[in-house]
Structure 1
């Protein structure tokens, strides 16, 4: 069963991302939304963890949320893909289940 995991909390305030990555199975998709987009930025305390997760899961970031926080796509960890709202809907439709990590 393909699962889309969404994380909307900053990895610097909550452990939602760590929990998500711990339980996400190989081949799963993780979409970082709202303050969760901070996890996709290069040169942070979680960069190594997120980059390592890219070996087994697909990571996406919601572009409008990234832009709303003042970050350009150039700041993202290599391998993280940017999606817009239509892309979010496509990801949800492509997966059997959506799991929100709060």
Structure 2
């Protein structure tokens, strides 16, 4: 399953809920303000790094760039462009958006 999170972890609990309920082997795509979670020095960096043991974590590159965070991505987080976003949706039979 592909889990898509778009809200900042400091604004909503969507990311926490997603990470708790996502099953091993699932993918998590961080978009919009959720991309802050994929950057070094943020309050939830440890949660993202721990989740990488069981989940593939992706962040949307254009959203990172728009927020000035493109150079601060955590190791192991895969940065994708819009084409990569479409590929992820096509690769996974189910998508869950966390609002």
Q: TM-score, normalised by structure 2?
A: 0.97
Residue 28 of structure 2 contacts residue 55 of structure 2 at CA under 8 Å; is this kept in 1? yes
Q: CA deviation at 1:88?
A: 0.3
Q: Which has the higher mean CA deviation after the structures are superposed, 40-49 or 53-62?
A: 40-49
Q: Could you say which residue in structure 2 is the equivalent of 1:48?
A: 46
> Does 2:89 match 1:76?
no
Runs of 4+ in 1 over 2 A off after TM superposition: none
Alignment coverage as a number of residue pairs: 99
Q: Could you say which residue in structure 2 is the equivalent of 1:25?
A: 23
| Structure 1 CA distance for aligned equivalents of residues 20 and 69 of structure 2 | 27
Q: CA deviation at 1:44?
A: 1.6
- Residue segments in structure 2 that go unaligned for 5+ positions in a row: none
What's the RMSD between the two structures over aligned residues?
A: 0.6
- Residue segments in structure 1 that go unaligned for 5+ positions in a row: none
